[in-house]
Structure 1
Amino acid sequence: MDKSEFHFHTAGEEWLAAYSAGVLSEAKSLLLECQIALQPHLAAQLAQIDCIGGEFLESAKGEPLSADFSARLSDAIARAENNAHSAGVGEADAARGAEGWAPKPLTAFLTRSEISLKWKKSGPGVSRALLSEVNGERLYLLKSRPGMVMPVHSHKGQEWTLVLQGGYHVGQSAYARGDLHCEDESCKHQPVIDDDGEECISLVADEGRLVFSDPVLRLIQPFLGI
């Protein structure tokens, strides 16, 4: 596909505001952090949202701090420092596992979680590496061969897909490295991987299994792991 047809895609301001407020899931927060690393101009938009949130906090009525607030704050700072140190020490190992296409927040997550990527087949031309599964939300990497036509499907709940390498298109919408594609149960679609010789690798957070239109795929879905 002609790269001139690509347009930047990201989550809406409501999701950036949810991230700023700290109410997004860990998986979706990681996707946004990775996109900000790939599309730095998003940081300015997030900073504006942070400022607005700060103004609301300043105008809000204060509440007395809990007795153990200082201790909990010290523990949180210590954990953050330990995580930062671990990420710095193990970053090279995690980067080798991700082969250079992973943005720094993903590399840090792999290091912090002590995850070594294990790719498993999820059908012809498609592999998946599960990273986490918390409260029904899965976080995984998806790798597809060039020119692959994915099955028509919808979703149970939301699915967020961040492109890390290569690209694909759905109808007239094209997605390249750094683009975030959000779908839910209301949409049926069929991604087609770009046939440019490069595998498409995406970071995906979904809240439920795919819903295939093909009855045969529905029968074998438990064996595909998707």
Structure 2
Amino acid sequence: MELYGDFALRLLVAGLMGVLIGLEREYRAKEAGYRTHFLVALGSCLMMIVSQYGFMDVLQVDLVRLDPSRIAAQVVSGIGFIGAGTIILQKQIVRGLTTAAGIWATGGIGLTIGAGMYAVGITATLLALVGLELLSYFFKSLGMRNLMLEFNTESQETISEVSAFFNDRNYIVVSYEMKEMPVDSNRILYRVSMVVKAKKMNEEGLLLLMMHKFPGITVTKII
């Protein structure tokens, strides 16, 4: 009975560690939140417990030797499929890599606590939160961020002005695509899609700035 109480404690602690990491992702409005991380940590912990203790009857009766690390290895591989589902590739922008890595780390934390290594699992959780929050805070000025901008305009000159607008502010236009959409016999609507790379980019600020500077365009998407 005491052993089952320890199992319940392991599941509880693993789930709590998953929730802590998931709350940070939820706060950032990422693809996988606290529920996903909770289930990943809980499931990983459960599989580790089963790997270590689920075959004790067989081992005692038939003197069979099993390697408990095999299930843990399969869990690590299987979590890769969940992580891949959070990665979004749109044109030349890749999003969700940090969340995918967080799910993978959460699985490892669940396995660690499932093995009874509470201190190591809790330490790994704290380090994961430090990595997600503090590192991005201190080094955010060093990284470059991709942003996709889509807008409509009826003037080709405006498109050139928008490109010059980005170049003047040391933004890098990674890709550029334009489609002509006939409105009637005398009007053509140009639908433009740009992928821009820059530091400290704010979507709301960029949207307001473009609306003020280029009243002749209609911004349809900024991601």
Report the TM-score when normalising by structure 1: 0.23
Largest Rg, 1 or 2: 2
Going by fraction, where is strand more abundant, 1 or 2? Answer: 1
Bigger relative contact order, structure 1 or 2, given CA contacts below 8 A and separation 6+? 1
With normalisation by structure 2, the TM-score equals 0.23
